[in-house]
Structure 1
Amino acid sequence: MSRIHQHVHVEWRGGTCRVKWWSGEYLENGRKRYESKGGFTDEEEAIQHGLDKMYEIRHGTHVKNRDGATLMSDWLDDWLAGMDHRHLTERGYRSAIETHIRPYFAKQKASVADIDILAYRAFKKHVHGKMKASSARNVMMIFGMILDDAVPRLIKTSPVERTRRRGKFTKKPKERKKDMTPEAVEQLARNARTVFGESGYVFLWTMAATGMRPAELFGLTREYCYPNWPSSDPRAEPDEFERYEEDAERYGKGGDLMPAIRVERQVQYSDSELQFFPPKYDSHRALVVPPFLAEMLEGLLSSHGHNWVFPAMQGGSLGAVNFDYRYWRPIADGAKKRTGPRTRKARPAIPPVPSFAGKRLYLVRHGHKAWLDEDGHSKFAVESRMGHEVPGVEGLYSSVTVPMERAIMKTMQERWDGLQERLSREKS
């Protein structure tokens, strides 16, 4: 073995030579840890390879041999263990990995270093051939994050191809929405009453008049709903004592207090069990409700003994059923009359609501935002009510005041009163 460089050595064995270079680390016995590569037939080429590795080590771009041999399956385990996201995000990432990414690369027994640009493109082609474009893009987005996070320990550079916009700008198609009228909400609410009783009627009007997300409504329980809240608040966070006191001075029943709902949590499935989670984006908030809705909520809670404010047909949480299929579609699209001895629950025909037929339940929340904008409420009050973070100076300095909340109650009540007047004229 001949010494070529202080930390680079070559040795010949048979017709090929091996180069060794110091990894920059020490063994437990204090000796230097070396890495090596064999199969060279040209000594100068071997030396240059060793010097290149030393350069990478000095500049922090070197991938150790043992790290470069890490199997993709093992790296996926490490990546999943290091996730720190909200429940739904983690569930989505884990599903994409276990359903699409891991099986593909486990079959090939591929290491992370094996995934070059050609392997990346092959996987992309495989994914796009198995699912619709939006789902495939989501899988590739997650796969890209996994490969990006492998740099520089497992691979020098990520093989992920970045999309570069060239040529004429093409606007992305936007979901078509029709204006949400009080008449449309009333018909949705009546349809919901036909599907799952008075709970359905109040559910639709609560969503339209508060903009709550579906999972927040599914998880709403008595202690966080008017007329019980805020006096019934469990006050589970001792550090929030100031907020609890302010809520008690501002919201409630009677006097100058404003009726309100507290958005404290939502329900989602985790480990095959319906569980409570913080609302999306940690958007805990108090939502004032107009007098007509306050009366509805009080009447609904006195009519049943369930802890859920809006119980499902069988009494459990709406989050535990396939709401879109079993409830929302007949509410929005209409349904035929159900009768006969084999019918589990007879019900009359349900008329469709044209502006919502074939559309998502979430558009009722969008409609609430449009109502607030039409009525001219401040941007900060609107975004706060929707559970959105307001960026910049406006978000830092602004706050939702009592006059802002009373103005929202007033305009929501006016929409209801106007609807009742129009319906009354139609009857007469």
Structure 2
Amino acid sequence: MAYTESRGKFYRGRYRNPPGVRPKWGTVSENLNGEPFFRKTDALRAAQNKEAEMHRLANEWQGPVPDPPVPFGEWLRMLQAQRRARGERDLTAGAITLQEWVETKWLPAQDLAVLSIRNYRQHLRNRILPTFGHRPLYTLTDFEEINLWEKQLRTRYMDNTVSNTRSLLTTLLNDARDAGLVDVNAAARRRRRGKVAEQRKGRTKKVREWLTPLQVLLLAERCAALTGRDDDFVMWITDAWCGLRWGELMAVRGDRIRDGKLIVDAQLIELDQRHLLSDPKDGSFRNDDPRFFGALDLPPFLEALLRRQIERRRRLECHCDGLCGAGRFLFLAQEGGHIRHRNYSEFPWRAACHGKAPESGPERPVLVDMAYGWPGVELKPAWRAVEGADWTPPRGRGQPRWDLPVIDAHVLPCPNRKCGARPGEECRSVNGLPKRQPHAGRLTAAVEQGHVRERRLATWLPIKAGLTPHGLRHSLRVWMDEDRIPEVAKLDRLGHSMPGIGGTYAHVSESMRQELVEKLQQRWETALRQRARMSATSTVAVLRDLLVSQTQISAPVRLPIVSQPAERTTDPRG
């Protein structure tokens, strides 16, 4: 029978070990939190619980007891061997916590792509382990508890994130059940439970936005206008006409363009604030290897654009630590590093695609000055969006006066002797620092000589709300569908395998490739002609050179997806 002993200020409990175990009496001197027993009743209750557990284990023993007696750990291993021999599950195996099992057993055994492991770690670190990580596996048996946890997650995260987290927990408990650590998978979804209407809405196919070739051209032009770099224009035209994923686009290198083809043999992924070069998603190599897919045939216009980009980027390399391969990537950030997806989505993508300035606070449309040419030069900070038909320029402290005429004072030298700025240079203060505004004498002289002009204010309307960079890959698929390209050629271009028996007998012929190239070239030429009819010039140098080749330009037309010039008293929201 269990009893207690006084040990100074504390107590400890003694309990009887099973037969064949030495010593005959076991000791418990701490609670589950590792704290000593200050009260005799707590020590006695703990000893009684341990003795009840020993009695249950002793009842499972079959056959003669060990003689001579053995330590309890060895006796327990012998009992586990008896259970396995009888085909039973080891009831003590599930005592390991979920976190310890995942980190020491489950994750190291997974053979997955780097991105998959990263996503698993994020789900575990942020949502699963904070709730269940400290729990022994055998305690994760309550279906209602896990359903309540999922319901609470849906109040804080997107549905897709919660579904992926629940699926990962289901996979974990499935593997734990197969390993004999739990009896049931409490995370498995039970059919026909919950609100049927909500479930059907959740299963509704998500709308995937796509663009026409003209919209892609306008989007690429806007991105390049915002960043002031031709690279962005070439980058998005390449992405749309080749159907690349983001990582594959970032991994494009000059030496992968050969004989009018683009070889896709890598993707650049972001992992722990670093960039790593790895195989394309699902091994979708496009390199003309018979085991994979064909290299991407480039339309003549796109090959010329990429050759131009190679010449411009010939001497520029990334400044990584070598994990990316330190190659000559065609699309890098201005400072030479790699472009981060999250940063680019905020700027310039959101402004170019959605027509919203990437600023905190109230919503602001992208405000531009069309006097410099299409699509305009962005004015910062933009005015706030307002409702109503009647509109007047905002007034007040801190409000920019974009509605006032512009004085081009920099075309003249500064008459201030202490400044002495030459034409094209900014005025400087007495301490030599640049001034935000030219000196008064320089402004007066510019006004007297007529160097004053009106701004042509306009705002950008959205090209396609909700579009993501991956939508350009969907766009290419729509174009190929409209052009009636054979299914096998479409899948080959996108790096997808053709399912079923059709994938065994279908092959991509040279005539299919040539037809696809011709159709893509025609779509580019049509989009360029449509863009030329809007405006014969552009603030983006590479597009301006392309528009020069358009000799027949019709009268300008107004389309609802592009900037609309406005008078000074016109609503700047467009």
Query: What TM-score results when the alignment is normalised by the length of structure 1?
Result: 0.74
SS of the residue 1:268 aligns to: strand
The equivalent residue for 2:127 is 100
- Deviation per CA, 1:49-70: give whole Å up to 9, x if none: xxxx98x85674x321331212
- Provide closer, same or farther for how the CA distance between residues 33 and 279 of structure 1 changes in structure 2, counting only shifts above 3 A: closer
- Provide closer, same or farther for how the CA distance between residues 404 and 35 of structure 1 changes in structure 2, counting only shifts above 3 A: same
Whether 1:297 and 2:306 are equivalent positions in the alignment is yes
Task: Work out which of the two has the higher radius of gyration on C-alpha atoms and give 1 or 2.
Answer: 2
Whether 1:411 and 2:519 are equivalent positions in the alignment is yes
* 2: CA distance, partners of 1:59 / 1:405: 64
SS of the residue 2:276 aligns to: strand
- The one-letter code matched in structure 2 to 1:170 is R
Q: Contact 2:268/2:275 (CA < 8 Å) preserved in 1?
A: yes
The equivalent residue for 1:170 is 200
The equivalent residue for 1:393 is 501
- Deviation per CA, 1:5-62: give whole Å up to 9, x if none: xxxx99xx99985403359xx99xx9995439xxxxxxxxxxxxxxxx98x85674x3
* 2: CA distance, partners of 1:398 / 1:279: 23
Gaps of 5+ in 2: 1-18, 26-47, 287-294, 317-327, 356-365, 368-377, 382-433, 437-455, 533-551, 557-574
The equivalent residue for 1:110 is 135
Using the TM superposition, name which of 117-126 and 353-362 deviates more: 117-126
- The one-letter code matched in structure 2 to 1:224 is R
- The one-letter code matched in structure 1 to 2:296 is L
SS of the residue 1:263 aligns to: coil
* 2: CA distance, partners of 1:363 / 1:272: 25
Q: 1:381 aligns with which of 474, 481, 489?
A: 489
- Provide closer, same or farther for how the CA distance between residues 22 and 386 of structure 1 changes in structure 2, counting only shifts above 3 A: farther
The equivalent residue for 1:248 is none
Alignment of 1:249-328 (within 5 A): 252=259, 259-285=260-286, 286-305=295-314, 306=316, 307-319=328-340, 322-328=343-349
- The one-letter code matched in structure 2 to 1:378 is P
The equivalent residue for 1:332 is 353
Q: Contact 2:269/2:275 (CA < 8 Å) preserved in 1?
A: yes
Q: 2:232 aligns with which of 186, 189, 200?
A: 200
More helix by share: 1
* 2: CA distance, partners of 1:212 / 1:58: 55
- Deviation per CA, 1:355-376: give whole Å up to 9, x if none: 4234212111100110011111
- Deviation per CA, 1:226-265: give whole Å up to 9, x if none: xxx3xxxxxxxxxxxxxxxxxxxxxx0xxxxxx1111111
Q: Contact 2:209/2:466 (CA < 8 Å) preserved in 1?
A: no
Whether 1:187 and 2:212 are equivalent positions in the alignment is no
The equivalent residue for 1:426 is 554
Q: Contact 2:353/2:464 (CA < 8 Å) preserved in 1?
A: yes
Using the TM superposition, name which of 384-393 and 276-285 deviates more: 384-393
1:349: Cα distance to partner?
8.3
1:177: Cα distance to partner?
4.9
Using the TM superposition, name which of 143-152 and 314-323 deviates more: 314-323
- Provide closer, same or farther for how the CA distance between residues 59 and 375 of structure 1 changes in structure 2, counting only shifts above 3 A: farther
1:389: Cα distance to partner?
1.7
SS of the residue 1:88 aligns to: helix
* 2: CA distance, partners of 1:34 / 1:124: 40
Q: Contact 1:68/1:155 (CA < 8 Å) preserved in 2?
A: yes
Structure 1 vs Structure 2: percent identity of aligned residues? 24
Q: Contact 1:96/1:139 (CA < 8 Å) preserved in 2?
A: yes
1:339: Cα distance to partner?
5.5
* 2: CA distance, partners of 1:179 / 1:139: 28
* 2: CA distance, partners of 1:417 / 1:59: 76
* 1: CA distance, partners of 2:224 / 2:235: 9
The equivalent residue for 2:93 is 67
Gaps of 5+ in 1: 1-8, 37-52, 230-251, 253-258
* 1: CA distance, partners of 2:100 / 2:130: 13
Q: Contact 2:98/2:136 (CA < 8 Å) preserved in 1?
A: yes
Whether 1:133 and 2:159 are equivalent positions in the alignment is yes
SS of the residue 1:390 aligns to: coil
- Provide closer, same or farther for how the CA distance between residues 316 and 31 of structure 1 changes in structure 2, counting only shifts above 3 A: closer
1:176: Cα distance to partner?
3.5
The equivalent residue for 1:81 is 108
- The one-letter code matched in structure 2 to 1:365 is R
SS of the residue 1:19 aligns to: helix
1:173: Cα distance to partner?
3.3
SS of the residue 2:59 aligns to: strand
* 2: CA distance, partners of 1:99 / 1:111: 19
- Provide closer, same or farther for how the CA distance between residues 382 and 300 of structure 1 changes in structure 2, counting only shifts above 3 A: same
The equivalent residue for 1:356 is 464
- The one-letter code matched in structure 2 to 1:408 is L
Using the TM superposition, name which of 113-122 and 171-180 deviates more: 171-180
Whether 1:21 and 2:61 are equivalent positions in the alignment is yes
Equivalent pairs, count: 362
- Provide closer, same or farther for how the CA distance between residues 127 and 137 of structure 1 changes in structure 2, counting only shifts above 3 A: same
- The one-letter code matched in structure 1 to 2:140 is I
SS of the residue 1:267 aligns to: strand
- Deviation per CA, 1:321-360: give whole Å up to 9, x if none: 71211221122123332369899xxxx9896463423421
* 2: CA distance, partners of 1:175 / 1:418: 30
Query: What TM-score results when the alignment is normalised by the length of structure 2?
Result: 0.56
* 1: CA distance, partners of 2:529 / 2:125: 56
Q: Contact 1:375/1:411 (CA < 8 Å) preserved in 2?
A: yes
* 1: CA distance, partners of 2:352 / 2:305: 20
1:147: Cα distance to partner?
0.7
* 2: CA distance, partners of 1:189 / 1:158: 49
Q: Contact 2:244/2:473 (CA < 8 Å) preserved in 1?
A: yes
The equivalent residue for 1:255 is none
* 2: CA distance, partners of 1:404 / 1:213: 23
Q: 1:158 aligns with which of 171, 185, 195?
A: 185
1:143: Cα distance to partner?
0.9
Q: Contact 2:210/2:474 (CA < 8 Å) preserved in 1?
A: no
- Provide closer, same or farther for how the CA distance between residues 181 and 123 of structure 1 changes in structure 2, counting only shifts above 3 A: closer
